Amino acid sequence: MSGGRLPDADRNWRIFLWFRVLFSARFYYPVLAVLFLDLGLTATQYTLLNVAWAAASLLSDVPAGVLADRIGRKPLLVAAGCCMVAEMAILCVAPRDGGVILFLFCLANRLLSGLAEGLASGADEAIVYDSLAEGGRTDEWHRVLEQLTRWQSVGFVVAMLAGGAVYAPGFVNGVLGFFGIHASLDQADTLRFPILLTLASAVGVLLLALNFREPERRQPHAAEDAEGHHASSVAGAFSFVLQAGRWLLGSPVALFVVCAGFVLESAVRLFLTFSSSYFRLIMIPEIAFGALGAAMGGIGFFVSPWARRMVASRSVAGSFAIIGGMVLLGLVGVALHPPRWGVVFAFLLGAAMTLIGFSVSTYLNMLVDSHHRATVLSFKGLAFNFAYGGISLLFALALHLVPGTTPQEQVAHAFGLLPGWLLLTCGVLILAFRKHRRELLSKKC
With pLDDT > 70 as the criterion, what percentage of the chain qualifies?
Answer: 90
pLDDT digits (tens, 9 = 90+) for 69-116: 777 889 999 999 999 999 999 999 988 888 889 999 999 999 999 899
The domains located in the chain, with CATH, are 8-215+234-442 (1.20.1250.20)
DSSP string computed for 353-385: HHHHHHHHHHHHHHHS-GGGHHHHHHHHHHHHH
Answer whether 208's CB lies under 8 Å from 15's CB: yes
pLDDT digits (tens, 9 = 90+) for 393-407: 888 888 877 766 677
> pLDDT tens digit string along 308-344?
888 888 888 999 999 999 999 999 999 898 888 888 9
Q: Which residue has the higher pLDDT, 73 or 206?
A: 206
| Spatial contact of 323 and 352, defined as CB atoms under 8 Å apart | yes
- Asked whether residue 52 carries a pLDDT value surpassing 90, the answer given is no
By C-alpha distance, which of 264, 270, 277 is closest to 394?
270
- Give the pLDDT confidence of 267-301 residue by residue, as tens digits: 999 888 888 788 888 888 776 776 777 777 678 77
Residues 405 and 277: beta-carbon distance below 8 Å: no
pLDDT tens figures, 363-372: 888 887 766 7
Q: Count of residues for the chain?
A: 445
**pLDDT category, 356, cuts 50, 70, 90?**
very high
Average pLDDT of the residues in 154-175: 83
DSSP code at position 224:
B
Q: What is the dihedral of CA 370, 374, 376, 377, to 10 degrees?
A: 120
